[in-house]
Each structure stands twice: as structure tokens, then as C-alpha cells.
Chain A
Amino acid sequence: MKRLWVAFFMFWPLLAVVVCWFAADMNWWLPRHDGTIGGAEGVTTAFSPIGQRIDDLFHLILIITSVVFVGTHIALGYVVWGGAKNVDEGRKSVFTHGSHNLEVMWTIIPAGVLLFIALYQMDTWAEYRVKSTYPEKALRTPIAEITARQFEWRIRYPAPGREFASDAEVDQWLMGPQPGDLYSVNELHVPTNRPVIVHLRSMDVQHSFFVPKLRVKQDAVPGSIIPIKFEVTKPGEYELLCAELCGWGHYKMGAKLIGRNTQGHAAAIEKMRHDQEYDGITQPADSVVDQTESTTRMARTN
């Protein structure tokens, strides 16, 4: 019976390892862009450079923790098995209060490993979250401003072709809607294969911008505008979800992030402009310029 208990305690870590080993094949693993099952595409399948860095870090930590998990459980099984043997053979317990050398050893080694993990990942974090390390051109070209509200994503794009000369001008644009801005709801259009920046804000409560397949997440905090920096490396549609509890409809606050190459993106923006500015009566090609001018004039007189 005693040895049965050892088997009982050893069975579940074994099962855990087996389940994790086959998890990717069962599609219980990091979500992939195309939804394929199986490891055909290798381990890193996030379609953004930061996502790939995160996946690599995840796998590194997974390897380290798996070694510790298996090691400690083998040790646990060994000592319990040894205990069962001691009982059967009628031996007395070993009388010891510990070992200084062992304590030093199992303090310094884990400390080194933990410090290694801590320092190793700093670079990734710095590259995507610290402003000075992100390409200046991307910082100056905000793709969109995203306003989260219960329970949808409202997106505002700068007027097509608009250039921002300075950070101050970007800040000015973020102050409020400006003439020529384009709007969409629950559809975020992003160009692929270049670092982009979008600015996130909330209209009501706290939300969180989460694109699982890109491994991007950022909370939207009421009263703050927070930049999100990422890059999409493969054109396609990606789910955009809310990851911070925002009320009863939290679960259904879904949207789409649509990545297209440079031409495709420009075409999508152009179509958006067409749809937004065409009133159905006049010829769109002629009226576009007039409308933009009249809005500008109205803004000035105000």
C-alpha cells in the first residue's frame, strides 16, 4: 500500500508531462494564425516579431521549469519511496537537522537561474516598451487611435497621407477628432512588415487590447492614452479581444485586426475614405476634395 502511494504521487506529474508533450498536436497550445493542427510550422508561430520573442522566452522558461518540475518530483518520489522502505525494514529515521553545504548549494543555484531569466528577458521588454529604442519613423506615424467602450472598439485613423512632423503634432492629433479623419468600428486596419504604433484610450471603464495570435496586450485605462507598438509579419485577419473585465458583455467584446501589405493597406484606407465621404448623390471622385475643404472651413470658423 505504501508503495502504491508513491506510484499515486508519481503518476500525475508523468501524466502532466505527457499531456503537455502532445498538447500542441491537440491544438491546446499557443494559438496559430491559420488554425492548423500539428507542429508543421515549427515552434514559433506568432505572426509578429515581439510575439516570436515572447514565444522563445516562453519555451526557454518552459524548458527550465520542466527540468525543475521533473527533478523535484523524482526527488519527492525517491524520498517517499525511501521512507516506505525504512518502515518495512524497521529502521529508525536519520537524525539530522540539515546540512549547511546543501542549503548553500540550493540557494545559490536557483538564485543564479532566476537571475539569468530576469536579466535575459530585459532586452525584449526594453525593445517594445521603452520609447527610445523604437524606430522614430514608426512613432511619428500613428496608424490609429483606438477608443474602447462597453462593448466595442472605435477606431480613428489620421487622414490618408497625413504626415506628422513632430511628436507635438502627434499629441495634437490625439487631442481630438480632426478633419479628414477616418472611422471604423471593430475593424482595425494595419500595414504588415513594418513597426507600427497605435494609441489606446477608453471612453468608459477599463478594457484591454488583446490580440492572442500576435501576443500583444495592453490595458486601456480611462483618462490615459497609451501607445502600443507591434509589427504584423503576415497579412491576414487576427482576433482582437478584451482581456480586462469591463462589465457583463466583456466576453463578446471581439473585433478584427486586419493586416495587409503596404499597397493593400493603402487600398483599404482609400476604400474606407470613399465609403465614409460618399453621400450617394454626387460623384465621389469630384466631391471628395470639396468636402474636405468645407469641413476644414467649418472647423476654422468654429
Chain B
Amino acid sequence: MSTINHPVSSHDLHHAHHDPGFVRKYIFSTDHKIIGIQFLITTLIMLMFGGALALAVRWQLAFPWSYVPILGNMIEQFALQGGQMSPEFYTMLFTMHASVMIFLVIIPVLAGAFGNFLIPLMIGADDMAFPVLNMLSYWFMWPAIFCFTMATGLGAGLNGVEGATAGAAAGWTSYPVLSAIQAAAPGSGAAQNWWLLGLTLVGVSSMMGSVNYMTTIINMRAPGMTLFRMPLTIWAMFITAILQAFALPVLTAAGFMQLSDRVFGTTFFIPGGLDINNTDPSVGGGQPLLWQHLFWFYSHPAVYIMLLPAMGMVSDMLAATCRKPIFGYKPMVYSLAAIAGLGFIVWGHHMFTSGMNPALGMTFMVSTMMIALPSAIKVFNWIGTIWGGRPVFNTIFLNCVAFISMFIVGGLSGIFMAAVPVDVYFHDTYFIVAHFHYVLFGATLFGVFAGIHFWFPKMFGRTMNDTVGKMHFVLTFIGFNCTFFPMHLLGISGLPRRYADPYIHPYLEHLLNMNQFMTISAMLMGVAQFLLLGNFFYSMFFGKKCGRNPWNANGLEWTAPSPPGHGNFDIPPICYRGPYEYSSPLVPDQDYLPQTHRLTSVPNPNPTTAT
């Protein structure tokens, strides 16, 4: 499969005297590196926005119906009622917190930012296979951001309803009939249409990325870069792209079906004879469970879309920081593939209490139990990678260790919910909230923090400040665990999720103090993120300059200049070995052996292509 795509001479001739100008270079750029950085900065901003929504949720849970700082005065309606938020607003907050974090932060930061930046560099290509498609995939994010912003209630005025109480409020899962019939909730008016449009647009963006990544990885690898010499990041990105390509169309179809239910009255999901808020009985013969099946057919694989790339990146970073080959490269690849494959047949575990046929519950339970296996194998291999290593205790390594530790918790709490009878109790309680925050924040975001520090030098030619990085890490780690670990206990105590004021139920009254502690921890964590942003933007201009390979790593990306120019490599790389040959006895004087380094004493592994 490996071919030489761009002979040096023609490439240089073509681009030598061509300056694209500021707009084409930095804004409507077709360069994968610029697009990746654009994605990264956009998602960092969205991370702060989604975090602010979460803090507002936490405020209500800790100090229900009290004056909300900042928002209380900002929103006129709230100022009139003493600055307290309304329950409709609360439902909008958690709906949009999840939507923003999933669709505008986690998925685009992994696939969009790191996928774009790393894929061509790590496989030794000069750009993506379809650069214009790549540019479009970024620019489709902005209409999506616009739609999601309108969905918070800003766009609801178009429907004649007051904005602050009419944001999309059916949860990020948007279960019909609540989401499908306008009269069901204030937020099921215009805002829900904006939400569905936003969802479709992020889908379009992801799909363009996915097609591009698959094509690039299959066709544009450097000479000698065989599939089993690819870094695990690339394997993870490749498998993620396949997952997206197969799962996403289902969500897009379901989204359009719901939109047409709402706009044209098609009743795919609406059964007849429902009496909602004294409006006319609904007409139809639809089935609300159909949405749940379609939605989770996408959204369960989406959970792995939100995790696999981080797993790949952490594998690469662990090998580089521990100066040691990854433990069990092939089992790592196979377990990634197994997670992706099994990921398609476990969606029913979101529906154990939904009234789905109980026999189906059993099959989904077995497949869900088995998906824990490849995850376990990965954890053991990461621990094996650190074993006997010589780790550099920098921000990158610390974040990677936190990733493993948090992923263990998230994986183990998943087993409770995979067990059907136990899930009957835990379904829709805070236990599940704890579980997915440990996976998506604890694992993925710590992986992303590590990734930002690790590849920042390649992006900007400067390194981020390690001391500030460690401070950010410590504060985030403490804040994270103090916020989310108690959620397990809340869930075990039977606190249902999505409650604006759980304390009106006597058996939950005593949990108020714990919620206040969690809210304060969440604020600490929120403040800590400014350290990351500050470090990021300061280092971009004033960080310590570094050379091509500041970490002495093996991957092809480290042979390009920092930052790489247009076309990435000044010398087209040829790959002679896998990316994890650290501390190899073949080179006794250094502890790394780059993929491009040709050992003269060793026979050339691929004599037909390397000249």
C-alpha cells in the first residue's frame, strides 16, 4: 500500500513561489495543521462555555432557588424574580452542557484538532487527501455553534416565547415525545429545531473529517509505513473514522425524522391519542422507542469516538515519556478494533428499563460485559508500558497516569450498569453521571491535556511552561475527583439525575451538604482551566523555543520542522520501523531510534520503495 505520493522535485516546483496571503493561510486555510489548530482553539473556547453551563447547573444543585451570581442580573426575567433561575432554565442548562461538551468539545477536539494535526504528520504525508473538504469540515462547525447558541433560548423569541425559559430542554438524548411535540415543554418550541439543526451540522462536519481521515490513512502513508508500523494514535483515529462513517448516518436520519415530526407532522415517534398539556390529542401511530434505538445506535459508538483517539494518544505519549516500547502493540491494536466492533452491538444497555423486550436485555448485557474486556487489556498494557521504564515526570506523563487511573474507575463503574438488574436501580441516577464523567472528562480530557502539552511544540515551535502545566494538572485532578467521586455515592443513595431540586423528597434531604462540597470543587476546577488557557496562549508567543524533536520521540512528525511549513516535511520521510523503539540496544548511545533513522548494519526492510 505504501507509495511515494509526492516526489520532492515536483512538490517544490509547484509551491516554491506561492504565498497564499493571510486569509488563505490562517482563516480559510486548507492546510491540515492550521485547521487542526483552529479546531483546537475553537474547542478550548467551547470547553469554557460548556464548563460555565455546568457551573450554573452545580449552583442550582448546591444552593437551590437562590440568587445566581452573574446570570441573576444578566437575564431580565431572573432579575425580576430575585435572581433565581427557573426550572425550565435548569433543564436547558444540563441539556446544552451535554450537547456543547459532546458535540462541540470532545468529538471535535479529538478527531478535529488532533486528528487533523497529527494524521498527515505521523504517517509522513504532506497534507490530507482532500484539503478543501477538510477546510469545510472546520467551517461547518460555526453554523453548528450558531445553531446550538440559538438553542439555548436566544432563538426561541422567533416562536413568540420568552427566550430565557425556552431553551432546548429535552436532554442531550432528546427523547420524544417530550422533544417532538411543541406543547410538551417551553423548550420544545423553536429551540428544539435549532438544536436538531446544530446536531445535523456537527454530523456533516464529522462525516467530512471521517471520509478524509480514512482516505488519507489508507492511501498516503510514507514509504515503509506499513499498517503495523503506524503509531497507535493513527490506529485509533482510523478506527474512530470508521465508527463515525458507519454510525453517524443513523443519527442524521433520526434527527431529520424528528425534525419532520415537528415541522411536517409525520409522527415517526409520536403515538396517537396523547393528551399533552390539554392540547388536542396527538394523531399518529409512531413509536417513541424507535428514536431511542436509532439514537443509541449512533450514540453508543459515539462514546468510543469520544475515547479511542485519547487512548491512542496516551499510548504514544506513555511510550515517549517512559522511554520504553509500548507493551503489547498488537494486542493494543486488536483491542481498539474489538472495542469498535462490539461498540455497535451494545446500544441496548441504555434501554434496560425502557420497556424493550426483556430477552433483548440479556443479549445486550452479555455484549456490554464483554466490551469491558478489551478496555481491561488496554489498561494492563499501559501499566506494562510504565513498568521498567524511566519516566520523565513532566505534565505529559502525569496527565497520562491520571488518564489510566480515571479510566479504571470509569470502566469499573460501567460494569454495575451493564448488569441488567443492578441497572434497574442505577439507571438515570447520579451513578451514571459519575460513570460517564469519569470516562469522558477523567479519561478523555486528561488525555487531551497531555496531548496539548506534548504536541504544542510541533504546533508552534515553542514549549508550554511545565510548572504551570503541573499546577493546572494538580488543581484539575483534585477538583475533578472531589466533584465527581461523590456522585457515585449520590447515585447509590438513589438521587435521580436531571432534578432541579432533589431535596423536596425527604430521603434525599441530607445530600445537600455533599452537593455543596461538589459545587465548590467544581468551581476550583473551572478556575484551574484558566491556567491552561493562559499557558497555551502565552506560550504560543513567548514560550521557550524548541527544535524539531524536544521530547526525543520516534514518530515521523518529529522529523519535520517545528512548526512544519506548507507540505510538512523538508525531506520526505521514509519509515524503517515501528514508532516505539525506545531504549533499543541497536543504538547504545541514545535511548530513542526514530522511524526514519536508517541503520546501515541492518538490511533495508523495504528495498523496492526506499531509494
Binding site for B on A (CB under 8 A): 1-2, 5, 8-9, 12-13, 16, 19-20, 23, 27-31, 35, 50-51, 53-54, 57-58, 61-62, 64-65, 68-69, 72-73, 75-76, 78-80, 82-84, 86-87, 91-99, 102-103, 106-107, 110-111, 114-115, 117-118, 121-122, 124-126, 128-130, 149-150, 202-206, 208, 210, 212-213, 215-219, 221-224, 226, 239, 241-252, 254
- A-B complex: 6 closest residue pairs judged by Cβ atoms: A223-B271, A94-B388, A212-B494, A98-B328, A129-B358, A251-B499
Q: A206-B176, A218-B353 are in contact. List 15 more A-B contacts (CB 8 A).
A: A19-B489, A35-B507, A54-B421, A57-B422, A75-B383, A99-B327, A107-B331, A111-B373, A114-B369, A150-B276, A244-B175, A245-B178, A246-B178, A247-B178, A251-B87
| B574 at interface by CB-CB < 8 Å | no
| B287 at interface by CB-CB < 8 Å | yes
Cβ-defined partner of A86 (8 Å) among B87, B272, B389, B510: B389
Contacts of A19 in B (CB 8 A): 485, 489
| B324 at interface by CB-CB < 8 Å | yes
Interface residues of B in 51-75 (CB under 8 A from A): none
A78 to chain B, nearest CB (A): 8
B44 to chain A, nearest CB (A): 26
Interface pair A28/B489, CB less than 8 Å apart: yes
Cβ-defined partner of B376 (8 Å) among A83, A87, A106: A106
Contacts of A216 in B (CB 8 A): 424
CA gap between A61 and B500 in the complex, in Å: 31
Interface pair A65/B415, CB less than 8 Å apart: yes
Interface pair A254/B361, CB less than 8 Å apart: no
Considering the complex, give the chain B residue whose CB is closest to the CB of A87: B390
| B611 at interface by CB-CB < 8 Å | no
Binding site for A on B (CB under 8 A): 86-88, 90-91, 169-171, 175-178, 181, 184-186, 270-277, 286-289, 322-329, 331, 353-355, 358-359, 361-362, 365-366, 369-370, 372-373, 376-377, 379-381, 383-384, 386-391, 393, 398, 401-402, 404-405, 408-409, 412-413, 415-416, 418-422, 424-425, 427-429, 474, 477, 481, 485-486, 489-490, 492-494, 496, 498-502, 504-507, 510-511, 514, 580, 582-585, 591
B326 to chain A, nearest CB (A): 8
Contacts of A110 in B (CB 8 A): 372-373, 376-377
CA gap between A50 and B86 in the complex, in Å: 38
Interface pair B427/A217, CB less than 8 Å apart: yes
Cβ-defined partner of B492 (8 Å) among A28, A218, A250, A252: A28
Contacts of B87 in A (CB 8 A): 248-249, 251
A215 to chain B, nearest CB (A): 4
Considering the complex, give the chain A residue whose CB is closest to the CB of B272: A223
Contacts of B325 in A (CB 8 A): 95-98
Contacts of A124 in B (CB 8 A): 421
Interface pair B494/A57, CB less than 8 Å apart: no
Interface pair A217/B391, CB less than 8 Å apart: no
Q: Assuming the A-B contacts A239-B505, A245-B171, are A83 and B389 also in contact, with contact meaning beta carbons closer than 8 angstroms in the complex?
A: yes
CA gap between A122 and B431 in the complex, in Å: 22
Interface pair B507/A31, CB less than 8 Å apart: yes
Q: Assuming the A-B contacts A76-B386, A248-B186, are A93 and B496 also in contact, with contact meaning beta carbons closer than 8 angstroms in the complex?
A: no
A–B complex contacts, Cβ < 8 Å, 22 sampled = A23-B492, A57-B422, A76-B383, A87-B393, A93-B390, A96-B388, A102-B328, A103-B381, A115-B370, A118-B365, A125-B420, A205-B178, A205-B181, A208-B353, A212-B425, A222-B274, A241-B505, A248-B87, A250-B500, A251-B501, A251-B504, A254-B504
Interface pair B492/A29, CB less than 8 Å apart: yes
Interface pair A61/B327, CB less than 8 Å apart: no
Contacts of B373 in A (CB 8 A): 107, 110-111, 114
Contacts of A98 in B (CB 8 A): 325-329, 331, 381, 384
CA gap between A245 and B381 in the complex, in Å: 40
Interface pair A129/B361, CB less than 8 Å apart: yes
Interface pair B428/A243, CB less than 8 Å apart: yes
Considering the complex, give the chain B residue whose CB is closest to the CB of A35: B507
Contacts of A86 in B (CB 8 A): 388-390
Interface pair B422/A93, CB less than 8 Å apart: no
Contacts of B492 in A (CB 8 A): 23, 28-30
Interface pair A73/B405, CB less than 8 Å apart: yes
Contacts of A130 in B (CB 8 A): 358-359
Considering the complex, give the chain A residue whose CB is closest to the CB of B275: A203
> A57, A121, A128, A202: which has the most chain B beta carbons within 10 Å?
A121
Contacts of B582 in A (CB 8 A): 93, 95
CA gap between A98 and B272 in the complex, in Å: 60
B270 to chain A, nearest CB (A): 8
Considering the complex, give the chain A residue whose CB is closest to the CB of B499: A251
Contacts of B175 in A (CB 8 A): 206, 244-245
Interface pair A118/B401, CB less than 8 Å apart: no
A68 to chain B, nearest CB (A): 6
B417 to chain A, nearest CB (A): 10
Interface pair B514/A28, CB less than 8 Å apart: yes
CA gap between A126 and B422 in the complex, in Å: 13
Considering the complex, give the chain A residue whose CB is closest to the CB of B510: A27
Interface pair B353/A212, CB less than 8 Å apart: no
> B388, B477, B505: which has the most chain A beta carbons within 10 Å?
B388
A164 to chain B, nearest CB (A): 22
Cβ-defined partner of A95 (8 Å) among B176, B409, B584: B584
CA gap between A233 and B270 in the complex, in Å: 38
> A54, A91, A121, A205: which has the most chain B beta carbons within 10 Å?
A205
Interface pair A106/B177, CB less than 8 Å apart: no
Cβ-defined partner of A125 (8 Å) among B170, B362, B580: B362
Cβ-defined partner of B416 (8 Å) among A51, A58, A122, A252: A58
CA gap between A130 and B362 in the complex, in Å: 11
A30 to chain B, nearest CB (A): 6
Contacts of A78 in B (CB 8 A): 387
A273 to chain B, nearest CB (A): 26
Contacts of A204 in B (CB 8 A): 177, 184, 274-277
A224 to chain B, nearest CB (A): 6
Interface pair A95/B324, CB less than 8 Å apart: yes
A19 to chain B, nearest CB (A): 7
CA gap between A122 and B422 in the complex, in Å: 11
Cβ-defined partner of B424 (8 Å) among A1, A54, A114: A54
